[in-house]
Amino acid sequence: MLHLSLTLLLVLVLGSGLGAAFPQDTLKKSCSLSKYQFLVPHELKAVQKMKEQFEDIMLLSNRKCNTRLFHRKWRIAELSVPDRMVLVEAELALATAMLGLPAAPRFAETRQRPLAFLTQAREDLRGCMATEAPSHQPSGKLRHWLQKLQTAKKSETPGCLEASAILHLFQVLNDLRCTALREQCT
Per-residue pLDDT at 102 exceeds 80: yes
Q: Span 14-35, mean pLDDT?
A: 55
For 34-99, the DSSP string reads GGGTS--HHHHHHHHHHHHHHHHHHHHS-------TT--SS-GGGS-HHHHHHHHHHHHHHHHHHH
Predicted structure pTM score = 0.81
pLDDT value, residue 133:
83
Per-residue pLDDT at 107 exceeds 90: yes
pLDDT value, residue 60:
81
Per-residue pLDDT at 30 exceeds 50: yes
Q: Where are the domains of the chain?
A: 1-30, 32-184
| Single-letter residue type at 86 | V
Q: Span 65-92, mean pLDDT?
A: 93
Domain 32-184 indexed as CATH 3.30.300.30 = no
Task: Quote the CA–CA distance of 132 and 120 in Å, as a whole number.
Answer: 18
Per-residue pLDDT at 115 exceeds 50: yes
pLDDT value, residue 96:
98
pLDDT value, residue 5:
45
Task: Quote the CA–CA distance of 76 and 185 in Å, as a whole number.
Answer: 9
pLDDT value, residue 73:
92
pLDDT value, residue 33:
93
Per-residue pLDDT at 19 exceeds 90: no
Number of residues written out for the chain: 186
Helix, strand, coil percent values for the chain (each to nearest 5): 75, 0, 25
Q: Span 95-116, mean pLDDT?
A: 95
Helix 140-155 and helix 158-167, axial crossing angle in degrees, nearest 10: 130
